[in-house]
Amino acid sequence: MISTIRIQTQDFDLAAEYQLLRQLKASVGAVVTFSGLVRDLEQQQSINSLTLQHYAGMTESLLQGIVDQAEMRWDLIGITVIHRVGKLLPSDQIVFVGVASQHRSDAFEAAQFVMDYLKTKATFWKKVDQNGQQYWVESKSSDQAARDRWSTDD
Amino acid sequence: MIKLLFFGRLGDFATGLSTSIDAVDGLTPAAVRDGLAAGHPQLVYELSQPQVLISLNQMIVDWDHPIVDGAELAFLPPVTGG
């Protein structure tokens, strides 16, 4: 399997990433892509911006670990994970996960697995700016629950 | 020397704190945390929350893991990426 992991400040091109996964091998029969965007509201109030911090080096190795786990669980041809850091504005793209496989169920499930683990394991932290007031986003128990459903399958 | 890193909201409580400490025998992450208590009680309270994880040289470890000279010790609040 071919995996690509990138942490970057610049935006990404969904169509270009899709094409790269599509063209990995002639046996690719399914490509599932997910993009996460900056919502305009946090705690029911509009935000000015979001700033993403991460732990350089550790983030990449944690993401590689998640991708490796996905490869063990499903029959996959390629995975791309891109996560942006730095200052982002509402509607900006934050995260991309794309999975290529022969059959759709592997790609669907692996994409969801990677996102659920990324949200609860990868070392990123979001800070919100609401009219000059800054605060760190709290983690959500719903994200933990989304991840935990994968471990009950073992 | 041990390099100290505080991520996310923990960084706000560690403002002005030295980013490194001297290595001593028997040092553990718990000992480093407790050693901050005098000057930074609020930070130590935040570090003592059960959701806070620690890493040594970018590997998650327990609070009683031995720290060797030259290590990078990071305090990690719950992550919120994606």
Domain ranges of chain B: 2-69
The pLDDT of residue A152 is 65
**Can you count the helices (H) and strands (E) in chain B?**
3, 5
Domains for chain A: give ranges and CATH numbers: 2-146 (3.90.1170.40)
The pLDDT of residue B42 is 93
Q: Between chains, do A139 and B58 touch, taking CB under 8 Å as contact?
A: no
Residue of A nearest to B77 (CA): A125
B7 chain-A contacts, CB cut-off 8 A: 53, 55, 123, 125
- Closest to B82 (Cβ–Cβ): which among A119, A127, A136? A119
Q: What angle do CA A152, B75, A55 make, to 5 degrees?
A: 80
- pTM comes to 0.94
Q: Between chains, do B81 and A139 touch, taking CB under 8 Å as contact?
A: no
Pick the CATH number of B2-69 from 3.10.20, 3.10.450, 3.30.720, 1.20.120: 3.10.20
Q: If contacts are CB pairs under 8 Å, which of residues 46-65 in chain A contact chain B? A: 52-55, 57-58, 61
Q: What is the pLDDT along chain A (154 residues), one digit of tens a residue?
A: 999 999 999 999 999 999 999 999 999 999 999 999 999 988 888 999 999 999 999 999 999 999 999 999 999 999 999 999 999 999 999 999 999 999 999 999 999 999 999 999 999 999 999 999 999 999 999 999 999 999 865 4
Angle between helices A104-121 and A141-151 (to 10 degrees): 130
* Tokens encoding A96: 């991309």
**B56 touching A, CB under 8 A?**
no
The pLDDT of residue B26 is 92
